[in-house]
A and B are shown apart, each in its own frame.
Chain A
């Protein structure tokens, strides 16, 4: 299925990268070949992140946001997942064309990842210190003692009290929020340039969420890292993100910087998401929802994938796939009626 991609990305602010962007994904396509058919999980996704900035990738379950991250890291389950097109460039070099060994070296040192469920993502039979220290031992050639010391220092950096003792404990002995900090510490051990955080706070309660997000923001500032924050929670995003990419059915449907997006969304889906947030000053009214459910990726609707649920849908929406149109230097939207939306009220 051809998907015309029209947007011209504005020139990146040269943040000292001689070969262009720090990390960019270009027209990535991924499909899952299952017993029930081929699911088109990612259908031409393009985004990028620079040092020192936070890109939030927003979407519901099944939008493809996590799969994109996994593809960037190279940990996609193959089979059943297969990359069928596009490029992923780190410092300008396409990782999909690299050897396995080259890609492996980038992991941890160039790009690192933090996962959603720290309890299952950490190895239950090794101490937390072991799991952090092994990176120093294996990849930096440190001695056991030095590596352990550094591991304790990392735990300290993520504000875990009693670091030197807790370094000998096992993952199940930590609370949810502490465990997430451990994961963050582990991912930052080798000073990566980009950190991908896949729903880092979804499994935590609200107060802990805030703490973790603050921690991430602080660490990012200190290290001048690029941060890709994957989430479905609009509340989390508002504080932390510089730019937002909204995904639906494996595509980017809107891209904007955070202020623009919240002030004036340019896509009906984004609009629906924003409107569905309950507001304190609207007591006694019915909660607004986006009717319907996300489509099965085995049978993505023709044309704009959102059209079955879109209150603004017109016949053209079913016939033509809307390209990601540039609406301004930092805005893009994949909707035939994006301009009308923006001009509204």
Chain B
């Protein structure tokens, strides 16, 4: 892509003193040796900006922290989160149990740690699924146009028209209602599937509108004129340039899914025992908020922190990728 500022950045080197002839050496060619002045391009500029933002580093640190917590919970606690000892029920924070115990005598700290696993896993898996499916459909719809576009858009609209939480509750209460007993992975898989099914139209729309906007760009036309096949155009030219909004959206989506999953669990239709989930912890803590506020505080705090870090990261990435904010 031709960078109009290339001339500004790559300055021709001044001729050596005393060696002035009628043909000044290489004064006109953009400096090939001037590596410091090489134009960076949008992604390069974005990374340069991103590195400088404290927002980025803070959120990245938190996310890393949560990811490690989710992947290796035993690094943080040795206690079994599901081990219930009624005699220890509803004890405040102590040396034994840093966050106290819940009504069944389970260690809250351990449950918060293990809760992160479910939340992060579900959110990340759901995001990957949503973005992959949505982006694929969006590219097809945007690129092909015509009746394919109409059809895919209408299908997207159908899913879009269903209120999200409502649809999730309906589906999940059929398959996952109180009283059904399933294994850990089955429960998580179900929630992930439901999230993807209901959320893919949004990422499809984003991708589709970006594709529509860039489809007729000059460089695409140029590639076509040079004989590039459709596949090549899509993968080499279209997708790299449409990545930016999808990237921002995906980051924020992880945060949104963590929040949504917690809400569904809170309502009793999302993750449930034996899966440890922050949402369920919050739900069981709400009636006891007066006497044992810590039962609510810690899982809620962890939840907010997790969502916050992803939202912060998304913001940092968006600001870095936005050329207009320079």
Which A residues are within 8 Å of any B CB, using their own CB?
Answer: 36, 62, 291-299, 301-302, 307-309, 311, 313-315, 318
Instruction: For A299, list chain B residues within 8 Å (CB).
Output: 11
The reply to whether A315 and B20 form a contact with Cβ atoms under 8 Å apart is yes
Bound CA–CA A216/B198 (angstroms): 60
Q: Which 9 residue pairs of A and B lie closest in terms of their CB atoms, listed nearest first?
A: A292-B28, A296-B11, A308-B27, A299-B11, A296-B8, A293-B7, A291-B28, A292-B27, A301-B14
Q: Which residue of B7, B11, B14, B28 is within 8 Å of A302 (Cβ)?
A: B14
The reply to whether B7 and A313 form a contact with Cβ atoms under 8 Å apart is no
User: Which residue of chain A has its CB nearest to the CB of B48?
Assistant: A35
User: Which residue of chain A has its CB nearest to the CB of B19?
Assistant: A315
| A contact face: mostly helix, strand, loop, or mixed | loop
The reply to whether B8 and A297 form a contact with Cβ atoms under 8 Å apart is yes
The reply to whether B9 and A318 form a contact with Cβ atoms under 8 Å apart is no
B312 to A: closest C-beta gap in Å: 24
Instruction: For B7, list chain A residues within 8 Å (CB).
Output: 62, 293-294, 296
Q: Which residue of A293, A302, A313 is within 8 Å of B24 (Cβ)?
A: A313
**Which of A36, A62, A298, A308 has the most C-beta atoms of chain B within 10 angstroms of its own C-beta?**
A308
Once A291-B27, A309-B28 are accepted as A-B contacts, the answer to whether A298 and B11 lie under 8 Å apart by CB is yes
Once A309-B27, A309-B28, A315-B17 are accepted as A-B contacts, the answer to whether A295 and B22 lie under 8 Å apart by CB is no
The reply to whether A293 and B20 form a contact with Cβ atoms under 8 Å apart is no
Instruction: For B10, list chain A residues within 8 Å (CB).
Output: 296
The contact size tier of chain B is 10 to 19
Other contacts beyond A291-B28, A311-B22, A313-B15: 8, CB < 8 A = A62-B8, A292-B28, A297-B8, A298-B8, A309-B27, A309-B28, A313-B20, A318-B15
Instruction: For A295, list chain B residues within 8 Å (CB).
Output: 11-12
User: Which residue of chain A has its CB nearest to the CB of B8?
Assistant: A296
A81 to B: closest C-beta gap in Å: 14
Once A309-B24, A313-B24, A314-B20 are accepted as A-B contacts, the answer to whether A292 and B12 lie under 8 Å apart by CB is yes
Instruction: For B33, list chain A residues within 8 Å (CB).
Output: none
Counted as pairs of residues, one from A and one from B, with CB atoms less than 8 Å apart, the total is: 50
Tell me if B41 is interfacial: C-beta within 8 Å of chain A.
no
Instruction: For B20, list chain A residues within 8 Å (CB).
Output: 313-315, 318
Bound CA–CA A297/B10 (angstroms): 11
Bound CA–CA A16/B320 (angstroms): 56
Instruction: For B30, list chain A residues within 8 Å (CB).
Output: 293
A-B contacts, 30 of them at CB < 8 A, read: A36-B9, A62-B8, A291-B24, A291-B27, A292-B12, A292-B24, A292-B27, A292-B28, A293-B12, A294-B7, A296-B7, A296-B8, A296-B9, A296-B10, A297-B8, A298-B11, A301-B14, A302-B14, A307-B15, A308-B12, A308-B14, A308-B15, A309-B28, A313-B24, A314-B20, A315-B17, A315-B18, A315-B20, A318-B17, A318-B20
Which B residues are within 8 Å of any A CB, using their own CB?
Answer: 7-12, 14-15, 17-18, 20, 22, 24, 27-28, 30
A322 to B: closest C-beta gap in Å: 15
B173 to A: closest C-beta gap in Å: 47
Instruction: For B18, list chain A residues within 8 Å (CB).
Output: 315
Instruction: For A36, list chain B residues within 8 Å (CB).
Output: 9
Instruction: For A318, list chain B residues within 8 Å (CB).
Output: 14-15, 17, 20
**Which of B10, B15, B20 has the most C-beta atoms of chain A within 10 angstroms of its own C-beta?**
B20
User: Which residue of chain B has its CB nearest to the CB of A303?
Assistant: B14
The reply to whether B24 and A308 form a contact with Cβ atoms under 8 Å apart is yes
A62 to B: closest C-beta gap in Å: 7
Instruction: For A307, list chain B residues within 8 Å (CB).
Output: 14-15
A117 to B: closest C-beta gap in Å: 15
Bound CA–CA A308/B11 (angstroms): 11
Bound CA–CA A330/B54 (angstroms): 58
Bound CA–CA A296/B11 (angstroms): 5
Instruction: For A313, list chain B residues within 8 Å (CB).
Output: 15, 20, 24
Instruction: For B28, list chain A residues within 8 Å (CB).
Output: 291-293, 309
User: Which residue of chain B has its CB nearest to the CB of A291?
Assistant: B28
Instruction: For A296, list chain B residues within 8 Å (CB).
Output: 7-11
Instruction: For A292, list chain B residues within 8 Å (CB).
Output: 12, 24, 27-28
User: Which residue of chain B has its CB nearest to the CB of A300?
Assistant: B11
Instruction: For A291, list chain B residues within 8 Å (CB).
Output: 24, 27-28
Instruction: For B17, list chain A residues within 8 Å (CB).
Output: 315, 318
Bound CA–CA A307/B22 (angstroms): 11
B92 to A: closest C-beta gap in Å: 53
**Which of A296, A299, A311 has the most C-beta atoms of chain B within 10 angstroms of its own C-beta?**
A296
User: Which residue of chain A has its CB nearest to the CB of B20?
Assistant: A313
Instruction: For A314, list chain B residues within 8 Å (CB).
Output: 20
Instruction: For A298, list chain B residues within 8 Å (CB).
Output: 8, 11
Instruction: For B24, list chain A residues within 8 Å (CB).
Output: 291-292, 308-309, 313
User: Which residue of chain B has its CB nearest to the CB of A299?
Assistant: B11
Instruction: For A294, list chain B residues within 8 Å (CB).
Output: 7
B35 to A: closest C-beta gap in Å: 14
Instruction: For A301, list chain B residues within 8 Å (CB).
Output: 14
Bound CA–CA A36/B11 (angstroms): 13
A185 to B: closest C-beta gap in Å: 31
Bound CA–CA A313/B28 (angstroms): 15
Bound CA–CA A300/B300 (angstroms): 59
B56 to A: closest C-beta gap in Å: 17
Bound CA–CA A215/B14 (angstroms): 44
Instruction: For B22, list chain A residues within 8 Å (CB).
Output: 311
Bound CA–CA A307/B14 (angstroms): 9
User: Which residue of chain A has its CB nearest to the CB of B7?
Assistant: A293
Bound CA–CA A148/B98 (angstroms): 75
Instruction: For A315, list chain B residues within 8 Å (CB).
Output: 17-18, 20
B20 to A: closest C-beta gap in Å: 6
A58 to B: closest C-beta gap in Å: 19
B58 to A: closest C-beta gap in Å: 23
Bound CA–CA A302/B12 (angstroms): 12
